[in-house]
Amino acid sequence: MIIVMTSGAAEEDIARVIQRLEQDGYGHHISHGVERTVIGAVGAPEAEKEQLADQLSRLPMVERVVPILKPYKLVSREYHPETGVVKVGPAHFGDEKIAVIAGPCAVESEEQVLEAAQVVKAAGAVALRGGAYKPRTSPYSFQGLGEEGLDLLAKARELTGLPVVSEVMAPRQIEGMIDRVDALQVGARNMHNYDLLREVGQTGMPILLKRGFAATVQEWLRAAEYVAASGNLDIIMCERGVRTFETETRFTFDLAGMAAAKQETYLPIIADPSHTTGDYRLVGPMALAAVAAGADGLMIEVHPHPDQALSDGPQSLTPASFKRLMDQVRTVAAAVGREMA
């Protein structure tokens, strides 16, 4: 349930509500808005909710207590009507500007990642992507450079000032990532890995949560709720396509699902036209469509030499085509009343 404080509520009024929740053994999240503070109660058993709501509504300076019937509440728009802003280093996601994360699928070498970082920055990306741990379908495919890859990402960040987003596949990898990357990506294949969701939630680092390719929008939102319920509301959602009968593209871009998710959650949502299409020729049109449909940003794979890439070369843009696409994205963003970050 959500406890909405009156606009004149003082710190002690808020503290009284929290104390009451703690006393009953429930957790909480606070959202300080410009006008009023909203407190989300976590963990109240279904059977006790109604009674607790009645009791809390009698505390001073509580305007109303809103029961949340949806299975996700911390990430719902009911909890927070305006889109939230998630900061990844100096980059902002969800503040009305279109924020682009770009870089190679995987970190392959120092030369490759430093060059990629420089070119994506020059074209206007606000964050660098690059996998050090790669979830490959075949155990014989390139699995990423691991720790060495993380060091190279940190180096690229130092060189360009771009914050870094990189995928975490297992809880044991988290410790090594904390200082070397700025946001932890949970990939499509791990969206249902609830232990991992809890663990990344506890780091307090921004999380980029991809939609599982067989996950409904509701399941994706509930996965975000896992992270949020672990104490972390800094979540960027990423639509990356779902599996359908269609084989012409790698996945089917569910833009309607993205737009539907945007109605339901206040978390910023970005789109990944690279993994959804699997084809560099389709990345541009889908990137533009996503921005037109309300995406708060994009994640795009860019490789200095896609013909030499160790993973996802067929969907990687060259630096020149990425630059051209960014110019087009700028135009579409302006057409829907937004600007580039």
Write out the residues near Mn ion by the rule CB under 5 A. Answer: 105, 312
Q: How far is the CB of 103 from ligand PEP (least distance, A)?
A: 10
Does residue 200 bind ligand PEP (CB under 6 A)? no
Binding partner of 108, given Mn ion, ligand PEP, none, CB within 5-8 angstroms per partner class = none
Q: How far is the CB of 272 from ligand PEP (least distance, A)?
A: 6
Q: How far is the CB of 306 from ligand PEP (least distance, A)?
A: 15
Does residue 275 bind ligand PEP (CB under 6 A)? yes
| Among 185, 164, 163, 188, CA closest to 174 | 185
What separation in angstroms does the CA of 276 have from each of 251, 258, 264, 337?
5, 13, 22, 26
Supply the DSSP symbol for 162.
-
Residue type, 239: E
Does residue 303 bind ligand PEP (CB under 6 A)? no
Handedness of CA 301, 276, 146, 88 (dihedral sign): positive
> Residue 130 or 319: which CB sits closer to ligand PEP?
130
For residue 212, count other CB atoms closer than 10 A to its CB.
21
Q: How far is the CB of 136 from ligand PEP (least distance, A)?
A: 9
Q: How far is the CB of 266 from Mn ion (least distance, A)?
A: 28
Stretch that binds ligand PEP, among 149-157, 169-177, 185-193, 288-296 (CB under 6 A): 185-193
Q: How far is the CB of 105 from Mn ion (least distance, A)?
A: 3
Q: Residue 55: which residues within 8 A CB-CB, separation 6 or more?
A: 20
The pair of three-digit structure tokens given for residue 269, joined into one six-digit string: 């949502």
Element housing 67 (H / E): none
Q: Of these, 52, 100, 105, 113, which contacts ligand PEP (CB under 6 A)? A: 105
The pair of three-digit structure tokens given for residue 319, joined into one six-digit string: 């630096």
Does residue 187 bind ligand PEP (CB under 6 A)? yes
Task: In whole angstroms, give the CA distance from residue 240 to residue 298.
Answer: 10
The pair of three-digit structure tokens given for residue 150, joined into one six-digit string: 């993380």
Does residue 169 bind ligand PEP (CB under 6 A)? no
Query: Which residue lies nearest ligand PEP, judged by its C-beta?
Result: 187
Does residue 90 bind ligand PEP (CB under 6 A)? no
For residue 216, count other CB atoms closer than 10 A to its CB.
13
Do residues 130 and 160 lie in contact, with contact meaning Cβ atoms separated by under 8 Å? no
Q: Of these, 40, 84, 89, 131, which contacts ligand PEP (CB under 6 A)? A: 131
Residues forming contacts to ligand PEP in the complex (CB under 6 A) are: 105, 131, 135, 167, 187-189, 210, 240, 272, 275
